[in-house]
Amino acid sequence: MEVALSLVICFVGLSWSSLIAPYRSLSLRQADSFVTSSAFLRRGHHASAVLDGFVYIDGGEFSYTAGGETVWQYSDTLVSVSLTQNWTNKTVPMNSIAKRSGVPNLVRGGLWVDHVNKTLYTGFCGTPSSFGDKPFVPNGLWQYTPDREGSSGKWENLNDTVSSSFQNEIRPNGCLVASGKGFGYSLGGLVGGYDPNDDYNASGLISYDYTTGDMTHTTVVGGSTRGVVQNGGLIFVPNFGPAGVMVSIGGDQLGKITKGALDLVSMNTVQLFDPATGNWYEQAVTGNIPEIRKDFCVAGVASDNQTFEIFLYGGWAGQYGSAALPYDSIYVLTLPGFNWVKADYPARNPRTGLTCEAVGGGQILTIGGLDPTHKDPNNRYMGTYETSDPMTHGLGLFDMGSMEWKGSFIANASVYTPSDVVMEFYKTHSRLSALNSTELTALFSVQNFTGTSTVNTVSSPSPSSSSPINKRINKGAIIGGVVGGIAGLALTVVAALYFFTRSRRLQPTTNVAQPSYDGYEHMPELETAGANACNLVPKTEMPTNEVYELAGGPSQSNLNILDTVENRATK
């Protein structure tokens, strides 16, 4: 019915803006977070994870064009990307999965992954969006078990079976999140409201046991940040130590020097956690060390050379405009050598609030990212969503073996061989010579490599253009009653257009496009000028008896709040 109404609107020539105007007083909510590539602008501050042949993208915010105007919204669906077939970011198979009532829609949150039981966990980190209807999100832990097709699954609230802390303690956002060896981890984060003066950093490490459901909160002793950190990277490395090793990289700390101020964490060292002993360590790094930054993403891959490489991409130091440009950069940290190398490509499209996932072999999928070079004089935070992402759907692919961007994903890639620059490092350096304590030398002497690459990804909470296939896409459910006396004729046209559109929507395209590196002074045009309601097709999972309001951006009364929220987003 929603498809029919949207097409009727196109038929009678009504504009999107004229439709929204009568419903400005309604609660604004987004029914589906996946839009056509011609309308899509930006996605950011979401969470993502790889599970059983799919990448899942949850929460966050996104923007798109409708009637020639920018619309800002939060995501209330779960998006899946198939890793079972080859694709480009023009032909990528995606699904938009409806959430049952009560499942949280969070910004700057995270996902835990249980590969044994094939489940995802959410609700432990994140904050409600200030876009749309600014939803209230009760505390609690939720579990999602997907089906084999990645197109649906079962949501379950775990509040009756897990620690009451998930409900009773204030939920932080911007946590550093990782999963491994039967546990989910959440380090630090930000706790507070809309007034930055009331914000403070959560401290310590939360560990959740997937088997028992037990949650522990431990103090961090031994690392320079003391677990007081946000917007950095945390990654679980299963290939070293008796129970793996966790690596914390960068980010920032709130109020370390002055209340309300920000202090970026040094990139000259990383913090290491040994789950077997509960000990933390500070480890120096060498090489081409990244500039201090936050809101970047990290992902990791084990190599056939018995090393583990950590990919780091994007981020910023909190400065808008041209000062953010150099942060369009990729670095790779090799373990156990703890040496950084930098990818060689021109810095033209920096992005923050993104995620990245290791998706087989040495392939890294980058997802989303906001534009810190764009400065909106009315609201800086909203301005980062206003430019068109030069990567179709906000998706990019980087190959760590060749250290270059790629135009297509190759399914079933398993073996990853490090780049020449990484291999050259180990020709002149002993594998364990960089470790600065006997305890760390002993820890990294325990190695668990299987001969083929393993992947592990995490991102800080938080690269060209055509429509995807196998998706349920969307935008805005249109409230009934829009059309009147022409219903008979319109419905006839609707039926024909619906089936024509549906058949075309399922035809894959075959063009392979390399990511664009054009500067922001010449942003690429959208595929179709003035994308509107005619380009936005609602998803099909909605119950037919539910009424959804029109999707739209924040009201004018919310702009002052959002400008304050921008301060929180830079923390």
Q: Tell me how far apart the alpha carbons of residues 269 and 248 are, in angstroms, rounded to a whole number.
A: 9
Sheet order of strands, 176-180 included: 176-180, 183-187, 205-209, 215-218
CB 69, CB 395: distance < 8 Å:
no
Does residue 257 contact residue 265 with C-beta atoms inside 8 Å? no
Residue 14: C-alpha distances to residues 11, 143, 533, 539 (Å): 8, 42, 9, 21
Which range among 195-199, 296-300, 443-447 shows the weakest confidence by mean pLDDT?
195-199
Residue 199 is predicted with a pLDDT of 82
Give the pLDDT mean for 61-67. 95
Q: How many residues does the chain have?
A: 571
Residue 497 identity: L
Helix (H) or strand (E) holding 112: strand 112-114
> Which residues of 447-558 form beta strands (DSSP E)?
455-459
As a whole number of angstroms, the distance between CA 464 and CA 367 comes to: 13
- The C-alpha atoms of residue 394 and residue 112 are separated, in whole angstroms, by 23
Averaged pLDDT, 3-29: 33
Instruction: Give the separation between CA 347 and CA 355, rounded to whole angstroms.
Output: 18
Residue 440, both tokens: 């760390």
359 within 8 A of 301, measured Cβ to Cβ: no
Q: Give me the percent of the chain exceeding a pLDDT of 70.
A: 71
22/19 Cα distance (integer angstroms): 6
Beta carbons of 134 and 555 less than 8 angstroms apart: no
Query: Which pLDDT score, from 0 to 100, does residue 200 have?
Result: 83
Quick: pLDDT tens for 527-571. Answer: 322 232 223 333 333 332 222 222 333 333 333 333 333 444 444
Q: Are 387 and 42 in contact (CB under 8 A)?
A: yes
What residues pair up with 459 in beta bridges, in sequence order? 297
Best CA proximity match to 389, nearest among 375, 368, 409: 368
pTM over 0.85: no
Task: Give the burial string for 542-559 (b: 16+ CB within 10 Å, else e).
Answer: beeeeebbbbbbbeeebe
Kindly state the DSSP code that residue 451 receives in the 8-state scheme. Answer: S
C-alpha–C-alpha distance, residues 195 and 432, integer Å? 47
Give me 49's structure tokens: 């994870």
Closest CA to 366 of 440, 303, 426, 313: 313
Share of the chain above pLDDT 90, in %: 63
Report the pLDDT value the prediction gives residue 255, as an integer from 0 to 100: 67
Mean pLDDT confidence for 476-487: 36
Which pLDDT score, from 0 to 100, does residue 235 have?
Answer: 98
144, pLDDT greater than 70 = yes
Tens digit of each residue's pLDDT (9 = 90 or more) over 500-531: 333 333 333 333 333 443 332 333 332 322 23
Q: What is the pLDDT of residue 262?
A: 67
pLDDT tens digits, 308-364: 999 999 999 999 999 999 999 999 999 999 999 999 999 999 999 999 999 999 999
Report residue 42: phi and psi, to 5°. Answer: -145, 155
Structure tokens at 54: 């799919």
19 burial level (CB within 10 Å; 0-12, 13-18, 19+): buried
Res 15: pLDDT: 31
- CATH class of this structure's domain 2-459: mainly beta
Which two three-digit tokens encode residue 315?
A: 């981020």
275 vs 378, more confident:
275
Tell me whether strands 54-58 and 77-82 are parallel, antiparallel or unpaired.
Answer: antiparallel
Query: Cβ atoms within 10 A of the Cβ of 392, count?
Result: 26
Find where tokens 């933390």 sit.
Answer: 280
Residue 134 binned pLDDT confidence (cut-offs 50, 70, 90): confident
Which residues are bridge partners to 247 per DSSP? Answer: 235, 272
Q: How far apart are CA 162 and CA 122, in angstroms?
A: 13
- What number is the average pLDDT over the span 399-425? 97
Q: So what's the pLDDT on residue 456? A: 54
Mode of pairing for the β-strands spanning 404-406 and 269-274: unpaired
Q: Residue 210 is inside which H or E element, if any?
A: none
Give the Cα separation of 195 and 538 in Å (integer).
36
Closest CA to 125 of 233, 46, 25: 46
Q: Pick 219 or 522 by higher pLDDT.
A: 219
d(CA 414, CA 381): 39
The mean pLDDT value of the chain amounts to 78
Tokens of 170: 């204030």
Q: Is 220 exposed, middle or buried (0-12, 13-18, 19+ CB in 10 A)?
A: buried
- In the chain, where the domains are located: 2-459
30 versus 474: the higher-pLDDT residue is: 30
As a whole number of angstroms, the distance between CA 520 and CA 390 comes to 9
State pLDDT tens for residues 442-452: 999 999 998 54
Tell me the average pLDDT across 161-190.
92
Cβ density class 227-265: b for 16+ within 10 Å, e for less: bbbbbbbbbbbbbbbebbbbbbbbbbbbbbeeeeebebb
